[in-house]
Amino acid sequence: MATGGGNRNGTHKLPNLRSSASFKSKLPPSNVRRSVAAVGGADSVSGRVRVAVRLRPRNTEELVADADFADCVDLQPELKRLKLRKNNWDSDTFEFDEVLTEFASQKRVYEVVAKPVVESVLEGYNGTVMAYGQTGTGKTYTLGRLGDEDTSARGIMVRAMEDILANISPETDSISVSFLQLYMEYIQDLLNPANDNISIVEDQKTGDVSLPGATVWEIRDQQSFMQLLRLGEAHRIAANTKLNTESSRSHALLMVHVKKSVVDRDEFSLDAQNRSIGNLRPPMLRKGKLIVVDLAGSERIHKSGSEGHMLEEAKSINLSLSALGKCINALAENSPHVPVRDSKLTRLLKDSFGGTSRTSLVITIGPSPRHRAETSSTIMFGQRAMKVENMLKIKEEFDYKSLAKRLEMEIDKLMADNERQQKVYENEIERIRLEAQKRVAEAERNYVEALEEEKTKCQMDYMESIKKLEEKWTINQQKHAINAEINNGAGNEEVVELKRRLQDEVCLRKAAEDEIHNLKNQLFRFSKMELAGGNSDGFSFQQVLEEESCQKKKLEEEVRVLRSQLAQISIEANQARGYPDGSNSGNPLLGQDSLAPVNHMRSRDGSNGERASITNLHEQVGLQKILSLLESEDANVRIHAVKVVANLAAEEGNQEKIVEAGGLTSLLMLLRTYEDETIRRIAAGAIANLAMNEANQELIMAQGGICLLAMTATDAEDPQTLRMVAGAIANLCGNDKLQMRLRSEGGIKALLGMVRCRHPDVLSQVARGIANFAKCESRASSQGSRHGRSLLIDDGALPWIVQNANSEASLIRRHVELALCHLAQHEVNAKDMISGGALWELVRISRDCSREDIRALARRTLTSSSTFQSELRRLRIEV
């Protein structure tokens, strides 16, 4: 079964609707039969039988045979309703506790049908999960599917045991399993085929039914349980009929007994200060029983084609199911007599209907109109079962054996702990005493040693100080003696030396004054000579300038002559290539400098005249020669050449020629090589023009164009350059084949990064690229070639889209609105769009958009998405 949900057919409003069973948890006492044994119990809780309906999808035979007919049922899962068609204009409506479409997953079926019952069994109640329906409608698939190939296909039996094992303690709790089948009114053990006639034993006091002869296996893990299921399924009787290739010929019953110990921590405590042994209460032992019943399918002999022994099997199946239906009818009508003993099946299910068990029934139906009578009978069975109410009663008892065992273990543990603690206490006291003695002795020893060291240190310091003072006194005495001798013999010598130095200073001063006088005279003479020679030097300099000017004029004249010669040579070469007339001789495109006039062709008065001039220039000179000028060392020549190529690329007829001549490669080379903003802007514009052609788009991607455009978008700051780059990427976004590669090479990141510019023209191109990308994704999703969430959402584009969905610029707003509508068409994007605030913008677009086609697209998207519809109902918004 595929996961998900939804209606197989559209919902139609019918004129006459039959009232269905109520969904109240309790029905009025007058209309409900209660369990006699459970009435008046202190722990009794009322619980109505819950019924869910599950629709099987059409099989291969029905797809062929019923191709021209609509399904006989129409499901409304959100309203929990089912419509059974009478004819093309009338139908009956029924309500159930759950309505599961053909797309409902096994996990969802388990959670709504069986999980509440399993939780009750773990709490100590009895529980029953049963499947009823026509043969071939999926009862065994719903209950007993093992899921060996696909774990998501696991049935209720496997999932129930997983939950039970996850919620018990292996040390204190236990699980036991029996697996039986009721075949031809004989109860047979599927785990021990030799045991083929098991008797039913009924307790006269409580009325409980048991099977003491059945094999009981203790379960410790899921693997052992799966082995038992495989063993039981191998022994179950099945046959091939016209309605089902593996039709079950017996009713299968899986009985799971759960014993769970419940300990109240407040009551069961071994704290001697707060509790005494007399106040201890034994732990509670809850006993729950889960019965999973896979009924054999009801069948009509003329449809199933049963004969011989299979006919006898069909009669036995129909008789037991008829007896079950009579019991449910009696319980639903509050009849004083319920014919429980008419069949072994009803005796085994005595506690499930009208007893103390929490019961959940899933009825399985098929969509084929050929089996409408069987479908109607199954639906009515479920409707009657919904009127049966059981009185749930918890089953728990005191576990005295467990209490005694635990107390003995606790006493032994306490005695051992007491002895161990006593020994540890004595050892600790002895250790502390020895450690204290050791520390006292060590402290005394350290104190004595410290005193000795301190005494020795003080003595050494005293002796050292005395020695230093004696040395200083001796040195001072020697200095005083020497100074006295010097002062007596050298006083006169110092006076003589001072006089000599004074005389030397006087002589030096006089010599310096003479030197200054001489320098002044020399400076005066030099100044006169400088003034006399200045005019001659200026004249010489003027002559040099005039000579340089003449030389420059001569060089310019030579350049003009060379250019004329080059022009003549080019004209002769063009004529030799095959020009029939000399019309080009008047205005040739000559050499590298001949592209300079191209800049004057751009005029705002008429683009047609400009393109005509460019076309004439292209025809006269040749495309290959123009492309060669893209590699010129002269920046002006490169700029004019790339402008010519950009204008030529604007016409679709020239694009193929430009690409064949290598123009695309040259333009990409300009983006890769040059950092000049003008060249990059015009080159990006030319690439954008070429990217309008689908064939050129693949070539651009193959030559690494998207990486170069992304690098240009990162480095550029000029709005016009960013506009050209965004336009080129936006054109590439419209190609379905390049989606993944465009994203992997950074195209989407680059496109989103250009919104930093905030220029309206740039934002318009970004919005156009996002709209193109979203449209391609939507188309791929509708064709089934793409799955998963949008790459735009993965790259973080959704917040910007939502922010600009109501932009003041009409062009930006229109592109963003289209992008939102295309993203919303894929159901997997719905949750992200709701959390990101896009749902509000879609509602606004469906109401206020100025364009009718976008409004209609938004409304159609909102109404077709189940996720959006659920959120709109929660918010109480109508589209």
Which residue matches tokens 């007491």? 418
Among 658, 673, 668, residue whose Cα is nearest residue 701: 668
* Residue 758 pLDDT: 85
Question: Domain of 673?
Answer: 593-757
Among 649, 716, 724, residue whose Cα is nearest residue 682: 724
Please say whether the beta carbons of 247 and 237 come within 8 A. no
* Residue 868 pLDDT: 84
95 membership: H or E segment, kind and range: strand 91-95
288 membership: H or E segment, kind and range: strand 284-294
- Residues 790, 733, single domain; the answer is no
- Residues 235, 381, single domain; the answer is yes
* Residue 691 three-state SS: coil
For the chain, the domain total comes to 4
- For 722, half-sphere exposure in the C-beta direction (CA atoms, 13 angstrom radius) is 23
237 part of a folded domain: yes
Residues annotated as binding site for ATP?
133-140
5 part of a folded domain: no
99 part of a folded domain: no
- Residues 341, 274, single domain; the answer is yes
- Residues 452, 378, single domain; the answer is no
* Residue 876 pLDDT: 81
- Residues 182, 290, single domain; the answer is yes
Torsion of CA 834, 838, 841, 843, to 10 degrees: -30
CA distance 845 to 194: 72
| Boundary-marking domain end, from 459, 485, 511 | 485
User: Phi-psi category of 300—alpha, beta or left, where left has phi over 0 and alpha has psi -120 to 50?
Assistant: beta
Among 303, 365, 373, residue whose Cα is nearest residue 134: 365
| Boundary-marking domain end, from 432, 457, 485 | 485
- Residues 471, 371, single domain; the answer is no
394 part of a folded domain: yes
- Residues 774, 743, single domain; the answer is no
362 part of a folded domain: yes
835 part of a folded domain: yes
- The token pair at 430 is 């002895």
Question: What's the pTM?
Answer: 0.45
6 part of a folded domain: no
Average pLDDT, consecutive stretches of 10 residues, N- to C-terminus, the chain (879 residues): 35 32 34 36 69 92 81 92 87 94 94 95 94 91 90 94 92 92 92 91 85 92 93 86 75 94 56 46 83 87 70 87 93 91 92 92 92 91 94 81 80 92 92 93 91 85 82 83 61 60 70 70 61 50 62 62 52 45 34 32 41 52 74 77 81 79 80 77 84 81 83 84 87 84 84 87 90 87 82 87 85 88 86 86 86 87 86 81
* Residue 269 pLDDT: 45
CA distance 309 to 317: 13
- Residues 466, 359, single domain; the answer is no
Residues annotated as binding site?
133-140
387 part of a folded domain: yes
- Residues 811, 719, single domain; the answer is no
CATH code where residue 386 lies: 3.40.850.10
* Residue 147 pLDDT: 87
Q: How far is CA 197 from CA 204, 343, 348, 434, 567, in A?
A: 22, 15, 14, 80, 116
* Residue 615 pLDDT: 52
Please say whether the beta carbons of 84 and 372 come within 8 A. yes
Q: Which residues are bridge partners to 47 per DSSP?
A: 390
Which residue matches tokens 């036995």? 316
CATH code where residue 684 lies: 1.25.10.10
Q: Other C-beta atoms within 10 Å of 854: how many?
A: 18
- For 148, half-sphere exposure in the C-beta direction (CA atoms, 13 angstrom radius) is 6
Which backbone phi and psi does 256 adopt, to 5 degrees?
Answer: -120, 115
* Residue 405 pLDDT: 79
- Residues 293, 394, single domain; the answer is yes
- Residues 748, 765, single domain; the answer is no
CA distance 83 to 94: 6
* Residue 578 pLDDT: 43
- Residues 388, 477, single domain; the answer is no
CA distance 745 to 729: 12
* Residue 806 pLDDT: 83
CA distance 584 to 623: 16
| Boundary-marking domain end, from 335, 367, 398 | 398
